[in-house]
Chains A and B, each alone.
Chain A
């Protein structure tokens, strides 16, 4: 340790998806302080965008909300949302992180989260949270049960910032929390260890033209379909085509859109798409009983606990039609989306005139991860995924002491694995903090006590 000052038993966790939240709760519930930094205005990450989760079909909000609420209320967790880590100095035991908070244009200390401003705001823009499937106001929270339930103003959309007109939200706010002049703020945070859990985003399929993504309106990606299926989503869970809002009777799901494609996109497998696509097809059939769901696949990868039985159920109970073969082209013909695929067994090319196509794109690390890798001096592979100290036996440590990683930031993985890695990272931090604070002795347990 650099100075002789005692090491700080506080942890900085970057990213408040399910990984960051789980690690934060494990550490905070063990009596130590946590600083949880999140880019978005509220915590929950990708899981908040999901409708239901495989293999149990639990509604994602129902199992995530208790965690976000607990983290939001925890006296030892300091939430810093709408913020990013812009600098780090020092090393294990004595890190100093610079955290910059973007201007929310709303004074959160005063705001009660009553939602009046969101109701009255006249400006609507397409919602990135809903992956373009719905609209949101210029002043917004990510979802009705956001934690913290405080809005921010999207300065590129708000007519006050773009054309100097409106200020309606300021007028209706009962507690005068709106503050258009609010500036970005930076704070320094002293911590002893860091956990990076910045998660993933989806590969942009614009440059995979053959799937018509971006040109054909009724070709959407997996996360967008999650929003359509979600009870609190833009269509309240009803499956609607983006082009004309009709209920699609034939839906084609395409696997490995950008994954396992060394020449054209990402060579690696994104691990969870086989499972969430089976789930998409099942949930689609639960809502449109007379619909037909086709899945074009190369391999069905259902290896986790109860995953194979879930895939079995999709074919047996929900009659999902699996066709083994890659899709060559998706194009629009009249109001239909024509899919040119193939079937390996019959060796034949297969054509389906569908109403809607859902792509399972490759998972890539969050764009910010490369910046963090350089900042912390941690190696990343050529696709931007951070590298753990050793693949097999040190999966959550990094080459830099005191800095740990968890979740999809190291490679695509499902929720149980993410949660396990989050708790594993927490265990490493707890071990450091226990040694530094000498907690066990204080509790009357002599180190080296005869364990018999």
Chain B
């Protein structure tokens, strides 16, 4: 089975491991993630105020090239997924904007592509039971805390991605891989987004709220689908350990990395060594790598 795939800028640079793990895991499951022939940055934040149309030009160009390659577009990063899905809805539902943007980028696109996240592909195309059967390693001793952040779930009317106050897709994914779910209350709180650029204290406190809560729920590691959340959660843990005595740093993996480990793939290309909080000790201790 072949699905057009949109990696996104960061998955080509900082989060190369996320991308490679995704491609190889899906290949192992018989799904070819075919990278779009030409794609550009998705814009990273959906333009909140309705008037500026330029921000939609970027994401729609990707949708146009996806339309040429199939009726679905799989996305790995939850932020790209949010922006592409909402831009797609604009092209599908808001006629005046559709005309302006089509004129602007000289295309004729009406939102016919279905934008899906890799987790949805696992759930709908592969199915959790088939996935469970494909798992090679025993993750039963591993407690994983799912982290959704904002982009998957909100705004609920447009994203329509799981129950926005009590999501379960990451939980089901973790259980399908055979691991335990560490339930903690801050799965959907904000990681700080770009505030680190000018207010480090705030960002650190925001990530600390999430990390400390995951630890309290005795999680061995956190799994997420967004490179920016991964960065904000992973980057400041040394400083937080100093600032908050007793806080034990906790590794933050991408969902595709955990998937690749569970499928028993060779982990070297997945940049596990490049995480600030090294995940390898706990994975080794659980006999997974």
Chain A in direct contact with chain B (Cβ < 8 angstroms): no
Interface residues of A (CB under 8 A from B): none
Which residues of B come within 8 Å of A, CB atoms? none
